[in-house]
Structure 1
Amino acid sequence: MSNLSTISRAAFTIALLFSFVTNALAQKISVKDLTVEHLVNPFSIDNAHPRFSWKLVSNIKNTTQKSYEIKLGSTEKATSWSSKESSDQSVLIEYSGDELKSKTTYYWQVRVTDNHGNTSAWSPIQHFKTGLKPEDWSAKWITVEGNDTSFASPLIRKEIDLKKKVLSATAYITAKGLYEASINGQKISNHYFAPGWTSYKNHIQYQVYDLSKSIKTGANVIGVALGDGWFKGRIGFDHKKHLYGDTRALLFQLEIQYTDGSKEIINSDDSWRSAFGPIRSSNIYDGETYDARAEMPGWNIVGYKETTSWKPVRIIARGSERLVGMSGPPVTKHEEFKAVKIFKTPKGETVVDFGQNLVGWVMVRAKGPAGTKITLKHAEVLDKAGNFYTTNLRSAKQENNYILKDNVEQVFEPHFSFQGFRYIKIDGYPGELKLENLTAVALYSDMKPTGKFTTSNTLINQLQHNIEWGQKGNFVDVPTDCPQRDERLGWTGDAQAFYNTAAYNMDVSGFFTKWMKDVSADQLPNGSVPFVVPNVISERDAGSAGWADVATIIPWDMYVSYGDKGILDAQYNSMKKWVDYVSSVAKDNLWNTGFHFGDWLFYRPNDDNDGRAAVTDKYMIAQTFYAHSTQLLLNAARVLGKNDDVKKYEELLEKIKSAYIREYMTVTGKLVSNTQTAYVLALQFDMMPENLRQQAAERLVANVRDYGNHLTTGFLGTPYLCHVLSRFGHDDVAYDLLMQESYPSWLYPVKMGATTIWERWDGIKPDGSFQTADMNSFNHYAYGAIGDWMYKNVVGIIPVAAEPGYKEILITPKPGGKLTSASGELETVYGLVKSSWIIQDGTFKLDVIVPANSKATVVMPKTGKKEQIGSGSYHFESKY
């Protein structure tokens, strides 16, 4: 009997497996990775016409979508809107039904048919929740009793008693400052630094959390800690504090639906209580002090007995700023690093090396007598003698202090501050400090990795690693210039220079959608754009070429990389205002007024007496970016069908280029600034007549050779340098620059042990000394813009602007630099694109993957042979 049972079970298993395989084979097309507004099952969609995206999965080559059908409803089974279209579009399909209700969950599915006659099953049900309208807010802003003058972080609590069984519970939370919220003693999410940094005077984000599994019938406790953050704490230059306000405040609205159909709303109001807890001070630049002796055990759980230190909260008036849902990813924890080494410096200090320059904090495990103070200071590098070096932090302390309670082992980490570091100096640790007592944690915006790039050259691979970690460290809610010193600002020039590289490495669609709203919000009434966004410097500090042009460059590049026509629509007025501002200050179509950073941090030789100085005329640079922004505005106008603007800006562009030629170029094509950046920008932005461009490229090559195959470009010339060389047939020169190992070059910092991109080409000089201390960041992504060229040329993955978002792809690898292999891949909005090659026995072998619903043109190196292909996996070979 047992043998028969065994046989029966085996037969059943085989039948089940056969059924599964049969169904899988029958299901020749399916959909995956469904998103709404670039987000997976988002919880606060403010867009009245949200856009849906999906990817096709097919094992048949040359598959495209023939039609799609979407259905949407307010329950999983209901359908209140459907759309069936004969279309190959699967990215950002706009909802076109009746107005959606606020704070409502909607469910949606999609199925597709392909060009082979196959129809997919309906996708798994997805959902999104609409945000609150202004009139939906019933909560009050609350803060501490009296004036908010304490350095300590307030704790705010509310005990609630629910009489019925809870079906669902949704919390809407924001703060002036930063908040960390809990329900019944448990942190409600893995988010940090909420509500995020925006142009607070214009809009503050709120977050939405599903607390259905956290709230229970009976007693519950809401607990919230507040921090200074960017709102109240020191930010920007000149030790500015209280830039947006001097009062930290909480806005909390909990909406509960019971199983009997009734509802209840619990708001922040004057019934809540507050006290100051163990976070004695917290500041973005200076760090945090936490005194475990001041802890209030149980303050955020049921049954806590409030002491006399707990006071009533105070209601404050609602400001003029708008409350908006999140459109970008939250900051979350990511990689952890164990301590690599603990050592004594020549000065006798105890220093710990984590092996990687990162942004986040160190978790410390400690136990000792009450009052013991552990101090962690953070640094990126050691000096020439091997000592802990913090001079480049300027006034930022980057210091966390932990004061122990009596002989209880605890794990400490900050709440409302973060540090940029590879090394820590630790003082006051009780007993023997061991490697396992310390863990470094990276924090950055929760962006999905999308790109991979590797070659046969280990130095280039380390360069790619450094580029990625420069991005991680500086994409902490806003694209900052640096993450360690007393700055950490959203410099617009850095962001636009690096955008294309960023979009290869990670999915930055939501990240930049959010930040571009702040670019528009902080744009001055006259159309000028600040140096930093959010703008915490001065309204006078605006309008620098290559910085303010972020208003046009990133929207257009987002359109190309994600196929997002909506970003052009949303930013079009901002783009137009910026170009019109420049036109208003230009004289005879020449932009030769105002302050400009120019080619920031270009190569400055110590003694350049033969006239080869790399100084490029700043107004000459400004004119090229004036043309570039006008061209991008013109592109956007064409995409959006704004025909009147197309004609207007076509005429303007012609005048701008004519003025450039009159002012900055001789009749033979020589430029008034004989620098790499001058020729790079002139060629990149098509400023010269076509018949003079090749000779200009030859002048550029001569300049590079004259500097011994070294670059001399700064923040504005560097992103385009190798692109221009490749465009005009000088891949060999581009590779010579990429492979250059001596200063100035991309690989010089790698050879010096860098694990991120430096602010300066020679942040650490060959003799081990430092560049100027007041501006010498070792985590500064701008020069990492070479990553864009590496993806587009080494492995040859290029989006085609006419069919954006990699709907159409150009695969055109260009081997060089003695590389014998390279591989790159990118998870696009249509799916995975891959280009991987190896040179073996005189043969170039290329493997390509094209996602379903896309097509590609493959161009083989040397032979130039082209082949158009649809989706699928392919192998190509040619003599090399």
Structure 2
Amino acid sequence: MTAARPVALDAEAPRGTSFVATPTPRLTWRTETDASDWTQRSAELEFASAGARRTATIDSSDSVLVPWPFEPLTPGQDGELRVRVTGADHATSDWSEPLTVRAGFLAPGRWHAEPIGLTTPTRPAEPGLVRTEFELPAPVRRATLFATATGAYQVAINGNDVDDQVLKPGWTPYQYRLIHETTDVTALLAEGANAVGIRFAGAWATELYGFRDRAHRVYAEQPSVALQLIVEHTDGTTTELVTDGTWRAGHGPITASGIYAGESYDARLAQPGWSAAGFDDGGWSPARVAEPTIVPEPRTSPPVRRIEEVAVAEVISTPSGRTILDFGQNLVGRLRITVSGQEGRIITLRHAEVLEHGELGVRPLRAAAAADTYTLAGTGEQTWEPEFSFHGFRYAEVAGWPGDLDPASVVAVVIHSDMERTGWFTSSHDLVNRLHENVVWGQRGNFLYLPTDCPQRDERLGWTGDIQVFAPTASFLFDSRTFLSSWLADLALEQRAADGVVPFIVPNVLGPVRPAAAWGDAATVVPSVLLERFADRGTLEAQYESMTAWTDHLLDLAGERHLWEGRFQFGDWLDPTAPPESPADAKAHPDIVASAYMYRSADLVAHAAAVLGHDADARRYRDRAEQVRTAFLAEYVTPAGRMMSDAQTAYALAIVFDIAPATQHGALGRRLAKLVRESGYRIGTGFVGTPIIADALTRTGHLDVATRLLTQTECPSWLYPVTMGATTIWERWDSTLPDGSINPGQMTSFNHYALGAIADWLHRTVAGLAPAEPGYRTLLIQPRPLPGFTHARAEHRTPYGTAAVGWRRDGDTVTVTATVPPNTRARVILPGTGEELTVSSGGHEWSVSVPVAAEPPGPVGLDTSLAAVIDDEQAYATLLRVLGEVSPDAAEDVRAHTTWVPGRSLRERLDHAAGADAADRVAEAYAELSAGRGH
């Protein structure tokens, strides 16, 4: 038996750094042990700083986001933190490895840096360089750099970049909140002459936002940077350097740069040694001091880094003779090229997610050029990668390459916020596995400083509706807590400026705001998810004012009817029946969506108030939620359990949000299942209904229907894009049409994570791993073996340690295995049983009998009902095969436009769609099929 050992001690420092943003960071540690039933009885924390050691005892089992138990840190303070734990068996562990904790913030009033930029820019959003030289009078003991930009920047000291971060400081609402990085640069400085240089470009700060002719700059005409360097010497003195008008500004080899446009680099303009001491900057001019900005605050979210490199999978010569590189994966980042050639030669790199008619499919990019250019210096082999732009792409067209292109000379560099991967899923269904992998890549590409809708076209905005539905999935796959909590701080600032209304996007660059259901509800949903998945009570508390302001605004809009009616809504956005030019034109009535979400927000605020101890608020919002529920049921749900908007999303909302009473769930679920069958087990939901429809079916006893919906490969479905070669989640169910052409709508993306929210159901329901208490303090283990699947497994690195649940079917026996982390327990509901077990930490295995429901298929013929045909997968496949041989148009008509109801025979449908010859051929095929079944 291995003794308990505390590991992964964390003090909320951004990943890859030791700097904390607050004087009182919360502390988390995990405990590893082979012992089963291990529970922490107490923990002892030790903090050593400035020669003093302080200890604190936690007399509880708490080990996640524990409040800082020592005196608050002071600016510049550092120390080493250790923890040791005592179990319920009274055995005490050894001390953990020490964690360095450094205060990464300045004291109030200590930020003195002035924002600076190019002296006399000649055009908007002009990239540039600034530099200075200085003397250090004594050896360096410690040096800390605080730096930021309205734009994007990188600092080099004595010729060396200070870190490996990309596009820092990222995008926040610059008028309200600016982030600074804190970096230890001790190793880069020395007594005597030193130099600091900053490369910068406009990035998000100078981008043109808005659609078509409404695009304009929101934040700044020109980028600016600000830096403060504090050097502590061995003799006790301090040297401080700040950006100001004494710095020198010049132009570098980056001649143009934009998020949407891409970047241009002229290697002939490179100035070697420009960021080192002794460089002759006589041709440079004094830097321009820009208008003062707000005082920046330290980073809390993970920085963006280069995460992975992807090699060329195929070199394609297009029908027009162009050269395109296929990287085999839709990704986000940029290309790194290694090339030599004649001075002045220009290489152009154009990016896109798909090909159309064998050429680069750039129409979905709209106004985004997504093109980089590199001008050779003619000085031998050179390696280059754009610095202040990024693209969403699988394919890159290369023009101007000198000589033959060796694919090994080009690599795709994947960039995104550097979050720890924490969740995995696999099953016996290969297409579902690929779907899940597509979800992972979609999150990676769209979690780049903020949760964007898409990473490729002239948008890349923080749409609130997308992250509202995807937050549970995101929180399973990656440690997204600080990423999302930082974005929520931006949301609250934008909302405060809009009198409580949450903008459609955060940061808001689209102008005046108005409320929209499921979008603005990110204010209540995302903090609630962070509580559920990470036990993050602190973010819930920080966002409570935002949560209540949004909900109060909705309740005021609803008035005495307690319904949100007749106003602008996105509704069930991108319902598959919505025409390409009108994505909000969904089957589910927008008022139903709006009022359902109003109930949900009131309900979530009531729960948050109870958690935070605001008892009066909890009662008030519970009462208001009940008023909304009562009004919703009276207006939209009949006593027989039918929705006034007879659409899949409407039923799912009433069921999953627990608006309808449990007594009506059976009737609502039966109607929902019928609607799914009538649609041929194809998706009938958009952004709102898709994340919850499988849950609605599961909760009402229709797991078989949910399985058919999940495993459907016809369009629209989750797996249709997989069969079309997708490697990320599409924005539209038919972003690529079956003939391989791109959807004709003006809004088409091939990397949009919202519809990938189904992955959370795969984790919680198919594999059976869910939180029963905040932060997985108690797990809910309840696997639901899907018909036709032989195994599934999910693994998640919870705040307490790795939890895993898997099941495997062998005949009628299902074996379930589970790993419960130390200091937690689990509620277990095994397949085929109604019993609930409670188990402690450790490994567990159970075997239960779950007979496969196998009714032998019956005979089929032209008089078989349409419902029976669609329920019989073999009969349905035979029908489409035969019709396709006789009349492809008839086959598509039957596939796409049949309502598969029990009261109508196949003969009636074929008489209308295909004619007598086709009907005779189907009858012959069905006779053969029935004979093979023994009928």
TM-score after normalising by structure 2: 0.88
Q: Within 5 Å, which residues of 2 pair with 1:193-592?
A: 193-238=167-212, 240-308=215-283, 310-319=284-293, 321-383=294-356, 385-523=357-495, 524-540=497-513, 542-588=514-560, 589-592=562-565
Tell me the amino acid that sits aligned with residue 358 of structure 1.
L
Equivalents in 2 of 1:39, 1:301: separation in Å?
A: 29
Equivalents in 1 of 2:32, 2:578: separation in Å?
A: 54
Let me know the Cα RMSD of the aligned residues: 1.7
Q: Within 5 Å, which residues of 2 pair with 1:622-633?
A: 622-633=594-605
Alpha carbons of structure 1 residues 367 and 474: separation in structure 2 relative to 1, 3 Å: same
Identify which range, 572-581 or 261-270, moves more after superposition. Answer: 261-270
Equivalents in 2 of 1:527, 1:270: separation in Å?
A: 40
Equivalents in 1 of 2:11, 2:352: separation in Å?
A: 40
1:32 has 2:7 as partner: yes
Residues 63, 853 of structure 1: 8 Å contact kept: yes
What percentage of residue pairs aligned between the two structures are identical? 38
Please report how far the alpha carbon of residue 468 of structure 1 lies from its aligned counterpart in structure 2 after TM superposition. Answer: 0.4
Spell out, residue by residue over 1:811-842, the C-alpha distance to the aligned partner (whole angstroms, 9 max, x if none). Answer: 11111141111121000100000112211243
Identify which range, 246-255 or 56-65, moves more after superposition. Answer: 246-255
**Aligned pair partner of 1:852 in 815, 822, 829:** 822
1:166 has 2:136 as partner: no
Spell out, residue by residue over 1:777-835, the C-alpha distance to the aligned partner (whole angstroms, 9 max, x if none). Answer: 000000100000000011100101xx310000011111114111112100010000011
Please report how far the alpha carbon of residue 568 of structure 1 lies from its aligned counterpart in structure 2 after TM superposition. Answer: 0.8
Equivalents in 1 of 2:45, 2:535: separation in Å?
A: 20
Please report how far the alpha carbon of residue 865 of structure 1 lies from its aligned counterpart in structure 2 after TM superposition. Answer: 4.1
**Aligned pair partner of 1:140 in 84, 108, 114:** 114
Match of 1:179, SS state, is strand
Alpha carbons of structure 1 residues 150 and 497: separation in structure 2 relative to 1, 3 Å: closer
Regions of 4+ moved over 6 Å: none
Tell me the amino acid that sits aligned with residue 489 of structure 1.
L
Equivalents in 2 of 1:275, 1:150: separation in Å?
A: 16
Tell me the amino acid that sits aligned with residue 453 of structure 2.
D
Equivalents in 1 of 2:604, 2:631: separation in Å?
A: 19
Tell me the amino acid that sits aligned with residue 288 of structure 1.
E
Corresponding residue for residue 774 of structure 2: 804
Equivalents in 2 of 1:39, 1:150: separation in Å?
A: 33
Please report how far the alpha carbon of residue 407 of structure 1 lies from its aligned counterpart in structure 2 after TM superposition. Answer: 4.0
Residues 176, 231 of structure 1: 8 Å contact kept: yes
Equivalents in 2 of 1:39, 1:31: separation in Å?
A: 20
Equivalents in 2 of 1:68, 1:606: separation in Å?
A: 59
Equivalents in 2 of 1:143, 1:43: separation in Å?
A: 30
Please report how far the alpha carbon of residue 509 of structure 1 lies from its aligned counterpart in structure 2 after TM superposition. Answer: 0.7
Alpha carbons of structure 1 residues 614 and 536: separation in structure 2 relative to 1, 3 Å: closer
Equivalents in 2 of 1:819, 1:772: separation in Å?
A: 36
Residues 834, 850 of structure 1: 8 Å contact kept: yes
Tell me the amino acid that sits aligned with residue 346 of structure 2.
K
Match of 1:306, SS state, is coil
Spell out, residue by residue over 1:495-514, the C-alpha distance to the aligned partner (whole angstroms, 9 max, x if none). Answer: 01111111111110111011
Spell out, residue by residue over 1:248-280, the C-alpha distance to the aligned partner (whole angstroms, 9 max, x if none). Answer: 212111111111222111111222111011100
Please report how far the alpha carbon of residue 770 of structure 1 lies from its aligned counterpart in structure 2 after TM superposition. Answer: 2.0
Residues 148, 246 of structure 1: 8 Å contact kept: no
Corresponding residue for residue 12 of structure 1: none
Residues 614, 712 of structure 1: 8 Å contact kept: no
Match of 1:709, SS state, is coil
Match of 2:547, SS state, is helix
Corresponding residue for residue 126 of structure 1: 99
**Aligned pair partner of 2:701 in 724, 729, 732:** 729
Tell me the amino acid that sits aligned with residue 371 of structure 1.
G
Please report how far the alpha carbon of residue 645 of structure 1 lies from its aligned counterpart in structure 2 after TM superposition. Answer: 0.3
Spell out, residue by residue over 1:498-548, the C-alpha distance to the aligned partner (whole angstroms, 9 max, x if none). Answer: 1111111111011101100011011044211000000010123x3100000
Equivalents in 1 of 2:131, 2:14: separation in Å?
A: 32
Please report how far the alpha carbon of residue 40 of structure 1 lies from its aligned counterpart in structure 2 after TM superposition. Answer: 5.6
Spell out, residue by residue over 1:669-694, the C-alpha distance to the aligned partner (whole angstroms, 9 max, x if none). Answer: 22110000010001111222332221
Residues 38, 53 of structure 1: 8 Å contact kept: no
Please report how far the alpha carbon of residue 46 of structure 1 lies from its aligned counterpart in structure 2 after TM superposition. Answer: 3.3
Match of 2:315, SS state, is strand
Q: Which segments of 5 or more consecutive residues in structure 1 lack a partner in the other structure? A: 1-24, 608-612
Residues 125, 222 of structure 2: 8 Å contact kept: no
Tell me the amino acid that sits aligned with residue 235 of structure 2.
D
Corresponding residue for residue 178 of structure 1: 152
Please report how far the alpha carbon of residue 240 of structure 1 lies from its aligned counterpart in structure 2 after TM superposition. Answer: 3.4
Q: Within 5 Å, which residues of 2 pair with 1:858-873?
A: 858-873=828-843
Q: Which segments of 5 or more consecutive residues in structure 2 lack a partner in the other structure? A: 851-935
Corresponding residue for residue 682 of structure 1: 654
Equivalents in 2 of 1:496, 1:845: separation in Å?
A: 35
Equivalents in 2 of 1:116, 1:866: separation in Å?
A: 27
Please report how far the alpha carbon of residue 441 of structure 1 lies from its aligned counterpart in structure 2 after TM superposition. Answer: 0.9
Spell out, residue by residue over 1:351-376, the C-alpha distance to the aligned partner (whole angstroms, 9 max, x if none). Answer: 11110000000111111111100000
Tell me the amino acid that sits aligned with residue 555 of structure 1.
P
Tell me the amino acid that sits aligned with residue 616 of structure 1.
A
Residues 202, 322 of structure 1: 8 Å contact kept: no
Equivalents in 2 of 1:593, 1:215: separation in Å?
A: 64
Residues 255, 263 of structure 1: 8 Å contact kept: yes
Residues 832, 848 of structure 2: 8 Å contact kept: no
Please report how far the alpha carbon of residue 243 of structure 1 lies from its aligned counterpart in structure 2 after TM superposition. Answer: 1.1
Please report how far the alpha carbon of residue 148 of structure 1 lies from its aligned counterpart in structure 2 after TM superposition. Answer: 6.9
Identify which range, 364-373 or 38-47, moves more after superposition. Answer: 38-47
Alpha carbons of structure 1 residues 186 and 651: separation in structure 2 relative to 1, 3 Å: same
**Aligned pair partner of 1:753 in 725, 729, 732:** 725
Tell me the amino acid that sits aligned with residue 494 of structure 1.
D
Equivalents in 2 of 1:40, 1:707: separation in Å?
A: 46
Spell out, residue by residue over 1:683-709, the C-alpha distance to the aligned partner (whole angstroms, 9 max, x if none). Answer: 111222332221011110010011111
